[in-house]
Amino acid sequence: MKQEINNPSIFCYGEVLWDIFPEGARAGGAPFNVAYNLMRMGIDAHMISRVGNDKLGTDLLSQLTDWKIETSDSQVDTNYPTGTVIAHIDEHNEAHYDIIQPVAWDFIEFRNDYREKINNASAFVFGSLITRNETSRNTLFELLEIAKFKVFDVNIRPPFYSIPVIKELLYKADLVKMNKAELRLIVDFLNKEYKDEEDSISFIQDTFNIPEILVSKGSKGAIYYNGNAHYQAPAVPVTIQDTVGSGDAFLAGFLSKRILNASPDEIMNQATALGAFITSKEGACPDYTMSDFESFRSKNDPTWKNIKNQ
């Protein structure tokens, strides 16, 4: 599917919140992390979410504004507080989360002014966590009827998912991004024996009529299935600071090139490079510029050296 490349915009829908780590609070939420990195890649990123009418909400919207992410599409809730997640990092640098509920982002309401904006956007990004509450779930399904290019970041967070809803979202999606664990879960949901990755992807594509599937595999890189073709990209080796938000950055890197109709190889190289870059930093949304990222690629990504030298 070809996308318009004049002034491309991407709307991200779902949770914005504060991740509460032992060392302090950081703005987060998977769709927000995607929007942040899209903005850093020069894409016009928008966030549809909901915060509480409290200091945490004011601070969160202020943070988005400082980062030049459009906030006029987000909402303020007078009944429920701004979302928070209690996070800790284990000895393997993996993050674990206690996602508090109910909070403001559980109650995102549909607004009529979303119609034209979503219809004109180059992509609409959403995940499964936002469907844990009926209000935000119903709004998502209304928006999916309007969006032209629907990107489902599976992002399963037990116990906040429903197998029937996951299946319904897969039917709606044009592009699905998942990791290897989520791939195995989806195959299990479908009561299919897991043979290998390619067989599983083919089965999911056929079952749900999904044109594009993107699988991130950590140190083993990633693979992009587009119709009958597939494109692999190796991981970019880095010293890991933490893995929080690396998958979200990976997706943002992918979309930043995908909506500009770049070649599949350059799309994938951008995706794995940005995922690695964020992994080498502290936090899901570190302060960086495009120049910082390009410098990282020139030092760590052989594909980037080849491109720059042509």
pLDDT of residue 214: 98
Can you say how many angstroms the Cα of residue 228 is from the centroid of all Cα atoms in its chain? 24
In the chain, where the domains are located: 9-15+30-47+108-302
Mean pLDDT of 182-186: 95
Q: Binning pLDDT at 50, 70 and 90, where does residue 48 land?
A: very high
- Rounded percentage of the chain residues whose pLDDT exceeds 70: 95
- pLDDT one-digit tens code per residue, 100-150: 999 999 999 999 999 999 999 999 999 999 999 999 999 999 999 999 999
Quote the CA–CA distance of 150 and 141 in Å, as a whole number.
11
Q: Where on the phi/psi map is residue 93: left (φ > 0), alpha (ψ -120 to 50), or beta?
A: left
Quote the CA–CA distance of 177 and 161 in Å, as a whole number.
16
Quote the CA–CA distance of 56 and 18 in Å, as a whole number.
8
**200 token code pair:** 């599983």
- Rounded percentage of the chain residues whose pLDDT exceeds 90: 78
pLDDT of residue 284: 86
Encode burial over 190-226: b for 16+ CB neighbours within 10 A, e otherwise.
eeeeeeebeebbebbbeebebebbbbbbeeebbbbbb
Q: Binning pLDDT at 50, 70 and 90, where does residue 1 land?
A: very low
Can you say how many angstroms the Cα of residue 298 is from the centroid of all Cα atoms in its chain? 25
pLDDT of residue 6: 63
Q: Which CATH class is domain 9-15+30-47+108-302?
A: alpha beta
Quote the CA–CA distance of 294 and 214 in Å, as a whole number.
23
Task: Say if residue 5's pLDDT is above 80.
Answer: no
User: How are beta strands 17-21 and 24-28 bridged, if at all?
Assistant: antiparallel
- pLDDT one-digit tens code per residue, 245-302: 899 999 999 999 999 999 999 999 999 999 999 999 988 899 999 999 999 999 888 7
pLDDT of residue 276: 93
Mean pLDDT of 186-198: 94
Distance separating the N- and C-terminal Cα atoms of the chain: 28
User: Which residues are within 8 A (CB) of 74 and not within 5 positions of it... i.e. 6 or more apart?
Assistant: 16, 47, 48, 49, 50, 51, 61, 64
**133 token code pair:** 């509450």
Please give the residue that has the higher pLDDT: either 90 or 135. 135
Please give the residue that has the higher pLDDT: either 305 or 289. 289
Is this structure's pTM higher than 0.75? Answer: yes
- Across the strands, what pairs with 28? 17
Among 52-61, 173-182, 214-223, 236-245, whose mean pLDDT is lowest? 236-245
CB 132 within 8 A of CB 101: yes
Q: Binning pLDDT at 50, 70 and 90, where does residue 34 land?
A: very high
pLDDT of residue 310: 41
Taking all residues of the chain, what is their mean pLDDT, rounded to a whole number? 92
CB 240 within 8 A of CB 218: no
pLDDT of residue 243: 80
Please give the residue that has the higher pLDDT: either 184 or 6. 184
Say how many residues make up the chain: 310
pLDDT of residue 309: 44
Among 54-58, 94-98, 252-256, 280-284, whose mean pLDDT is lowest? 94-98
Task: Say if residue 180's pLDDT is above 80.
Answer: yes
